Chain A
Amino acid sequence: MAITREEVLHVARLARLALSEGEVDRLKDQLGNILDYIRQIDSLDTRDIVPTSHAVEMGTPFRDDAVHPFGDKEAILGNAPDRQDDFFRVPRIIED
Chain B
Amino acid sequence: MEYEAVIGLEVHAQLSTRSKIFCACSASFGSPPNENTCPVCTGMPGVLPVLNRRVVEFAVRTALATSCTVQKRSVFARKNYFYPDLPKAYQISQYELPLALAGHIDIELNGGTKRIGITRIHMEEDAGKLVHEGEFAGAQASLADLNRCSVPLMEIVSEPDIRTPEEAGAYLRRLRDILVYLEVCDGNMEEGSFRCDANVSVRPKGQEKFGTKAELKNMNSFRNVEKALEYEIRRQIERIEDGGKVVQETRLWDAAAAVTVSMRGKEEAHDYRYFPDPDLLPLMVEEAWVEELRKTIPELPGEKVARFVKAYGIPRYDAWLLASSRSLADFFEASAAVYGANPKVTANECIHWKDAVAAGRLTPETIAHAVEDRESGAISATVSKTLVELAIETGKPIRRIRDEKGLTQVSDTGALEEIAAKVLAANPKEVESYRNGKAGLLSFFVGQVMKETRGKANPRIVQEVLKKKLGV
Contacts and interface: CB of A to CB of B under 8 A. Distances in A.
A47 interface: no
B25 A70 contact: yes
A91 B140 contact: yes
Given A54-B282, A65-B17, A14 B273 contact: yes
Given A60-B51, A88-B84, A92-B140, A67 B26 contact: yes
Contact of A73 (B35, B76, B82): B35
A65 B44 contact: no
Contacts of A85: 33
Interface in A32-83: 53-54, 56, 58-70, 73, 76-77, 79, 82
Given A67-B19, A77-B34, A90 B144 contact: yes
Given A14-B271, A53-B282, A60-B283, A76 B34 contact: yes
B411 interface: no
Interface in B39-92: 39, 42, 44, 50-56, 73, 75-76, 80, 82-84
B18 interface: yes
A70 B38 contact: yes
Given A16-B82, A76-B37, A60 B282 contact: yes
Nearest to B33: A86
A59 B284 contact: yes
A1 interface: no
B386 interface: no
Contact of A58 (B26, B44, B143, B281): B281
Contacts of B75: 53
B146 interface: yes
B240 to A, nearest CB: 28
A62 B56 contact: yes
A69 B31 CA distance: 12
A54 B53 contact: no
Interface in B275-296: 276, 278, 280-284
Contact of A92 (B42, B44, B141): B141
B197 interface: no
Q: Is the interface of B mostly helix, strand, loop or mixed?
A: loop
Contacts of B177: none
A56 to B, nearest CB: 6
A86 B32 contact: yes
B282 A93 contact: no
A69 B37 CA distance: 8
A21 interface: no
A63 B51 CA distance: 6
A60 B37 contact: no
B384 interface: no
A14 B263 CA distance: 20
B264 A92 contact: no
Interface residues of B, number: 55
Contacts of A95: 263-264
A89 interface: yes
Contacts of B280: 60
B42 A76 contact: yes
Interface residues of A, number: 37
B37 A67 contact: no
B36 interface: yes
Contact of A59 (B35, B44, B282): B282
Contacts of B82: 16
Nearest to A73: B34
A92 B24 contact: no
A92 B139 CA distance: 7
A73 B37 contact: yes
Contacts of A53: 75, 276, 282
Nearest to B52: A65
Nearest to B137: A92
B132 A92 contact: yes
B18 to A, nearest CB: 5
A59 B289 CA distance: 14
- Specify which of B18, B133, B139, B281 lies most central, judged by the most chain A CB atoms within 10 Å of its CB: B281
B281 A54 contact: yes
Contacts of A93: 83-84, 130, 142
Nearest to A86: B33
B257 interface: no
Contacts of B256: none
A69 B283 CA distance: 26
Contact of B281 (A13, A60, A67): A60
A88 B36 contact: no
Contact of A66 (B24, B51, B264): B24
B1 interface: no
Given A14-B273, A53-B276, A76-B39, A65 B53 contact: yes
B18 A92 contact: no
**Which 4 A-B residue pairings sit nearest by Cβ, starting from the closest?**
A59-B284, A70-B38, A53-B276, A87-B143
25 contacts: A10-B268, A14-B80, A16-B82, A54-B282, A58-B281, A59-B281, A59-B282, A59-B283, A59-B284, A60-B76, A60-B281, A60-B282, A60-B284, A62-B51, A65-B55, A66-B18, A66-B24, A67-B19, A69-B38, A79-B42, A85-B33, A86-B35, A88-B84, A90-B143, A92-B133
